[in-house]
Each structure stands twice: as structure tokens, then as C-alpha cells.
Amino acid sequence: MCFIISGALVVIWHFASKNPAFNTLRLAEFFKFNYECTTTTVLKSSTTSAKVTTTKIIGTIAPPAPVPVPIPQPLQPIAGNLKLITTNTDPQYKMFVLNQNSELLSGIYLRQGSFEGSLQRILRKSLEKTKNGEVTFFDIGANLGIHALYMAALNYSVVAVEADMETFSIFSQSVIVNRFYNKVQAINAAISSSRGNIPMLRNANNIGNNRIVSKAEAAAQPGLQHTVRGIKLNDLVPFLPHDDIVLKIDIEGHECHVMNAEEAQLLFSSKNITCVAMEFTPKNMNANEACVANMVAFFAQNNYVPYYSSGGELGRKITSTNMYHEINHDVLWLPSSANAADYF
Ligand SMILES: *[C@@H]1O[C@H](CO)[C@@H](O)[C@H](O)[C@H]1NC(C)=O
Ligand SMILES: *[C@@H]1O[C@H](CO)[C@@H](O)[C@H](O)[C@H]1NC(C)=O
């Protein structure tokens, strides 16, 4: 037996038991994969040339190693009641936010009914490029479901990962109220470079800034720290239903721990990652410079090129040779073979 993301499953099963339609089959697979740890998943890549399809095995995911049973810690609930809003996006959908203007994200939704519209347009275009809608929107750092719910409203398949249990439970309730059960696989875990317990710090005024920190940093702010379940990116590869993936990752400076050769090569080799949308502000986030350099090198090795994906420089290729020091921006990584004009 392995004991991974047990907290996540408690929350997911809570909703699943109230709403039997909530994607129980896939959750059952997820449960098996993580708890029984008996499966070795074989990844295959298919190439079709003329009439012949060749499938080659390009790697395997070993069952995760057992980790100690996490000691449950009392969670400090985010203060405030929830409010169900209707977005002013096209299409519209419903979304739970905190009924609290002082919290940045909820405040924006309470006032405007939408957030990061320009990123949503880019992600939507990227999804529309893929034939027959056979593409998965993979959202790492889903938060309240800002982008995941929109893509589900557009009828795309979504795999959305959110580490913070309170934020995740709000997001789950939005999945339920919209009846997106069969579109969204919601997973409460922190994707990181290790499995097991991971310290996280809350920002009471901006739930979008809840982030993974070092143990020392977490210990310094006992009222805001809590423990989340760490999983590895590879653990989720078998749960991505399509080969084509539009990836969004926004995990507050922790990106380089996940987007590197060791953690992400299997995903990039086994799936068609058509683009990666990322908030690239590593210096602001105090990310480690060498770690960020590894991430940038990883993208280059896989032939991805960065573009500015918001503001006045939207769609311009980033030519910086020192991104850590020079770039503080939303970035879209595209395969060098892609026509960038199609995405902006
Ligand atoms: C990957 O996805 C892009 C965008 O949809 C598509 O143009 C390309 O043909 C795909 N590549 C493969 C190998 O399927
Ligand atoms: C939504 O997507 C599913 C496949 O995931 C498809 O069967 C269905 O027809 C789509 N619905 C609409 C309204 O496009």
C-alpha cells in the first residue's frame, strides 16, 4: 500500500459520494494507482505515416515508492463565506468565490466577473487549433478554477491540479454546480519534485499567491502554513485522456522544480504539448537561479521558444539569453515549428 495524496482523495470522495456522477470511474483509477501501487503504466507514442501506424514504447512509470502516512494537520479555513457568481465570459458559467472584496481574486470576480481574459483567449485559441477538440487542458495551479472552469464550459476535457485544500474544495463545488463532472478531473495535490508532505504558505489577501515554501519559511509563519500532499508530474501522465495537451502552469515560483528534464521529460516525450502558458516571474518569487536556468534549458532542448503573452509586447518572441534576470512577464512557450501568429 502507498499513501499518497490521501487528503485529496478524502475531499474528492466527499464530493463523489454526494454526486455519484462526479467522474467516479477515473477517480477509481486514480485511487488504485496511488493506493495499491501495483500498476506499471506503459507509455506509448504513435506515429502515423500513410497507412501504417507504428507504436513504440517510450518509457514506463514505475509504481510510486511508499511514503510515510502523512500526519493530518488542522487546516485553518480561509475566513469568509462563499458567494456564487455568474461570470461575464462567453460562454458564461458559475463560480464560487469568497464573499470578501479584500481577497484579490475574489474581489476581482465580485466586481468584474472575469479575470486574465487575454490569457483565456490565448488558451482557447490553442485548444481550438487541435483537431476535433481531442485535446486536454492540463492546468497546474488551478486555483479557484479560473481557467479550468472556462475550458470545461467550452466543452474541453480538463485535468486540473490545485494544492491548497480549501481552494480546491471551493473549486470542486464550482465543478459540481456547473455539472462539469465528466469534463473535469480535479486533483488536490502539489506537483513537485518529491512525493509526500510539502509545506505550503497561505496569503490571506490573495489565494492566488498560496505557495510551496521551504520548511524554515513555513515555520516562521505558523498561522498561515499548512501541509499539502506532493505528487510528481509523471504520476498524472496516465490520467491525461488525449495525446494533445495545452498546458498552463502557475505555481508561484515553483515551476522550475517541475518543468525540467528529470521531472517533465516523460510528459513531453509521451504527449504532444502544443504550448505551455506560464507566469514567468522567478526573480520576484525568489526562485533559485540555477533551477530556473535548468527549466529554460529544458524548454530549449525540447525545441520550445518563449513569447510574451500579455501586454504591449503580446506575441513577440523573447530573445533574452538571461531570462531569470531580464524577464518578468506572462510567457507562452511554443514549439519552434509552430506558427506563433496562430496563437495570439
Ligand atoms: C501537435 O499538436 C499541434 C497543434 O494542435 C498539431 O499541429 C501537431 O500536428 C501535433 N503533432 C503531433 C505529432 O500530433
Ligand atoms: C462535448 O464533448 C463531447 C466529447 O468529450 C462530445 O461528445 C459532445 O458532443 C460535445 N458537446 C458539445 C455541445 O459540443
Reported as a single tens digit per residue, the pLDDT across 6-28 is: 333 333 433 444 443 344 334 43
pTM, rounded to two decimals: 0.81
Ligand 1 atom closest to residue 129's alpha carbon, by position in its atom list: 5
Domain 75-342, architecture per CATH: 3-Layer(aba) Sandwich (3.40)
Of 67 and 120, more confident: 120
Distances (CA, A) of 70 to 8, 166, 201, 302, 305: 12, 18, 18, 36, 40
Is 130 touching ligand 1 by the criterion CB < 6 Å?
A: yes
Give the distance, in angstroms, between the CA of residue 83 and the centroid of all CA atoms in the same chain.
Answer: 24
pLDDT at 215: 79
pLDDT at 77 exceeding the cut of 60: no
What residues does 272 pair with on adjacent strands? 244
> Quick check: CB of 273 below 6 Å from ligand 1?
no
User: How much is the mean pLDDT over the chain?
Assistant: 79
Predicted pLDDT at 218: 77
Q: Is the CB of 129 under 6 A from ligand 1?
A: yes
Which band of pLDDT confidence, cut at 50, 70 and 90, is reported for residue 243?
A: very high
Retrieve residue 186's grid coordinates: 480535479
Q: Which of 240, 272, 336 to mutate to test the pocket of ligand 1 (most atoms within 8 A of CB)?
A: 272
Please report the sign of the dihedral spanned by the C-alpha atoms of residue 295, residue 300, residue 301, residue 302: positive
Give yes or no for a contact between 326 and 315, defined as CB atoms under 8 angstroms apart.
no
Tell me: pLDDT of 111 over 80: yes
User: How many angstroms separate the CA atoms of 323 and 325, rounded?
Assistant: 5
Q: Which of 48-57, 147-156, 159-168, 175-184 has the highest mean pLDDT?
A: 147-156
Q: What letter would DSSP give residue 99?
A: S
Atom index in ligand 1 nearest the CA of residue 243 equals 14
- Pick the more confident residue, 167 or 21: 167
Q: Using CA positions, which residue lies closest to atom 1 of ligand 1?
A: 272
308: its cell numbers: 510574451
Residue of minimum CA distance from atom 13 in ligand 1? 272
CA of 155 to the centre of ligand 2 (A): 6
Distance CA 39, CA 42 (A): 9
Burial of 198-210, coded b for 16+ CB within 10 Å and e otherwise, reads: bbbbbebeebbbb
pLDDT over 70 at 80, yes or no? no
